[in-house]
Amino acid sequence: MNRREFISLLGGAAAWPLAARAQQLTKPVIGFLRSGSLNDVPHFVNAFRQGLKETDYVEGRNVVIEYRSADNQRDRLPALVADLLGWPVSLIAGDNVAALAAKAATKTIPIVFAGGGDPVQEGLVASLNRPGGNVTGVNFFAGVLGPKRLELLLQLVPKATTIAVLVNPNTTETEAERRDVQAAARAIERQLIILDVSSDRDIELAFATFAQRGAGALLIGSGGFLNSSKRERLVALAARHRLPAMYAVREAVVSGGLMSYGPSITDAYRQVGVYTGRILKGEKPADLPAMQSTKFQLVLNLKTAKALGLEVPPTLLALADEVIE
């Protein structure tokens, strides 16, 4: 599906006739901006719409949503933000990288983010309880869960002494995630092979390296590139190389991945929709605390475990919030 088809499917339009555009501007316009691809996250879009609906806003009826995507090319974001501001939009919603680009362009238009990094450290908000300025949102702290994911993965593959780790260097949370996982591995005397990937070629070479160096398990880092854009590819390669893998998102396990541990990013986008509706009704971002995900889910795919010749320990099975058979 190309970008134009996707936008048409969602109900937006990148280039309407001027008269139609003028008619739409009688309704509030929301800019939905992704630093990654839109094609990979229809469930995030639907969750965002659901949150809007909970505040009595329905796309096409009393609100317009303009969709934009940088397709993992961060240098495109300033132009996309400028495009949205030119409508003009009443609010911009997006991931944390997109929100940073929007904040650099405007101090007045409200911005609502969903992100896995630290929004205070990134400079999105002054503090979680008192965001200040024109930005608030939902934080799911995906990057800090690396040590927990490593612990759970080793419960399933305890004999793995060398753990492969894939990270994307173009995310704000990567360095903290890398540091935390390295410290956790040292504490339990495990060797890590950490490789940065930012393209299909990088991913292919990484798996070849993991096989050559005898990795016994794989930890997938956080961020949209690995968990949205390349999720299906990573699941397929892990299966081909018979490498037990831990992912950051449930969707990877639904697609055939072995296991995942993390917050519900879909619910985070629903909450972004709720915050967006509240702001459209008059509340200010500075008065809405940046929320934190409090529910984390362990998801196991027993069919994949069986295909890899793994026996899931009863203790790990008991911890699972969802089991796919």
Instruction: Give exposure, 121-142, as e/b (b: 16+ Cβ within 10 Å).
Output: ebebbeeeeebebbbbbbbbbb
* pLDDT(117) > 90: no
- Count the neighbouring beta carbons within 10 Å of the beta carbon of residue 316: 16
Identify whether the C-beta of residue 299 lies closer than 8 Å to the C-beta of residue 259: yes
237 is written with which tokens? 């390669």
Partner residues linked to 69 by β-bridges: 34
Residue 3 pLDDT > 80? no
Predicted pLDDT at 5: 42
- Average pLDDT estimate for 174-202: 93
By residue count, the chain amounts to: 325
Q: How confident is the model at residue 2 (pLDDT cuts 50, 70, 90)?
A: very low
Q: What is the pLDDT of residue 65?
A: 98
- Opening angle at CA 257, ends 252 and 260, nearest 5: 65
- Of 192, 225, 216, the C-alpha closest to 69 is 225
Report the pLDDT value the prediction gives residue 8, as an integer from 0 to 100: 42
Strand partners, 28: none
Provide mean pLDDT across the span 123-135. Answer: 95
Burial of residue 54 (CB within 10 Å: 0-12, 13-18, 19+) is middle
* pLDDT computed for residue 105 by the predictor: 98
Q: 165 - beta bridge partners?
A: 194, 219
Q: Which residue has the higher pLDDT, 200 or 227?
A: 200
Mean confidence (pLDDT) of the chain: 90
Q: What are 221-262's pLDDT values in tens digits?
A: 988 789 888 999 999 999 999 999 999 999 999 999 999 999
In 194-296, alpha helices (H): 200-212, 224, 231-240, 250-254, 265-280
pLDDT of residue 295: 77
pLDDT digits (tens, 9 = 90+) for 254-301: 999 999 999 888 899 999 999 999 999 999 999 999 998 877 899 999
Residues 151-180: what's their mean pLDDT? 90
pLDDT range class, residue 79, cuts 50, 70, 90:
very high
Q: How far separated are the first and last CA of the chain, in Å rounded?
A: 30
Q: Greater confidence, 192 or 171?
A: 192
Q: What is the pLDDT of residue 271?
A: 96
* Model pLDDT, residue 76: 97
20, pLDDT greater than 60: no
Q: Is the pLDDT of residue 69 over 70?
A: yes
pLDDT the model gives residue 24: 52
pLDDT > 70 in the chain, percent: 91
